Structure 1
């Protein structure tokens, strides 16, 4: 049995049902036969059929770059002729040893929790919209919006490296240089953001139509 409130949600009218198509760039709605948005000039299509392929491709490349970002040094510090290297996790452990728990928590959250969480969330979204499921579309939309919003904060580790490199340059006394992991991490973040941007969020609402068709009257 389907409750009245749930049935109303399942029978919600979508733009495609109404013969309309929305622009993904400026959100203006046009008749279905319109090919170009008159407001922003963007191409109009009811659904991006290559969306999932691009989502998986960008996400896979992002994961490939994330592996060396954690294996290779993020910072190379030289003090009085002695050099030391620190990976992301190694830097977090060193901060904990120096009792900088707040900074260690921020770095760990921004450099490990957020990137891994984004990979999982994007993969979950791309997999969920492939076939009918029992997940509420609004819940998936909130997850997608969270992934899109939180993506910018993944660069905090790269910003810290850039600031340290710019500030700590005392020739033979002390210098800090970015390691190869900094480049890999930045590329991983960029590719993950491209993966999230490639996802056609309109496909989330197709599930309402599917469930509505299968719901007995």
Structure 2
């Protein structure tokens, strides 16, 4: 009983909305609720963003559309002594494994396949579940949102590897490495999924926590 009461007290913490304040999503400064423009950074102030989910789904869909060709078309085009070969993301991982570079293959597979696919699933899950008034655990959703925001930038590892190889391996007729169309598609997909995650208004999850807190108190 004491543990449940202690947890309820934690959930009942005063929020900016209850205090008549609104926080700026750009610089995090808090202002009175009737302030429309942040005096510090000039950003627009809204207690809740009603168009958040529309933008989340729009960026999510565009990112998914670019991720498909990123896996179908070559990421690298290698030319050695007049011979040309190309490799997709998965093909590059398989080739690295054939050469015994299992650690590098694992890193590339994790950063280029596991993380992007996981981000698509996580963002879609957050966007779907936040529309429901019940049926999810708000604290778990907050942790999931923080993880998505944190790992988003690491999806660019594959693009960085391509850029480094293109810069280093340029020996004219002997050997050259050029980026394929998949590199551009993959980079755009990562950018769009990051924009999708940034468009998500996490304050809607806090609203659900407040509802649960009020029901627990009653």
TM-score class, shorter: over 0.9
Which TM-score applies when normalising by structure 1? 0.94
User: Equivalent residue for 1:58?
Assistant: 59
RMSD: 1.7
Deviation per CA, 1:11-47, whole angstroms, max 9, x where unpaired? 3322112211111111111111111112222111100
Given the two structures, how large is their TM-score scaled by the length of structure 2?
A: 0.93
Instruction: Quote the residue 1:18 is aligned against.
Output: 19
1:143, 1:44 → 2: CA distance? 25
- TM-superposed deviation, 1:173: 1.2
Q: Does 1:45 align with 2:39?
A: no
Count the aligned residue pairs.
217
2-side partners of 1:208 and 1:138: how far apart? Answer: 8
Is the 8 Å Cα contact of residues 132 and 210 (structure 1) preserved in structure 2?
no
Partner residue in 2 for 1:158: 159
Deviation, 1:7, is 2.6
SS in 2 for 1:3: helix
Match of 1:112 in 2: 113
CA displacement, residues 159-197 of structure 1 (integer Å, 9 cap, x when unaligned): 111111111111111111111111110110010111111
Equivalence for 1:87:
88
Asked if the contact 2:36/2:46 (under 8 Å) is kept, the reply is yes
Q: Structure 1: 5+ residue runs without aligned partners?
A: none
- Give the stretch that moved more between structures: 11-20 or 58-67: 11-20
1:170 and 2:196 are equivalent in the alignment: no
Superposed CA offset, 1:101-120 (max 9, x none): 11001100000011011111
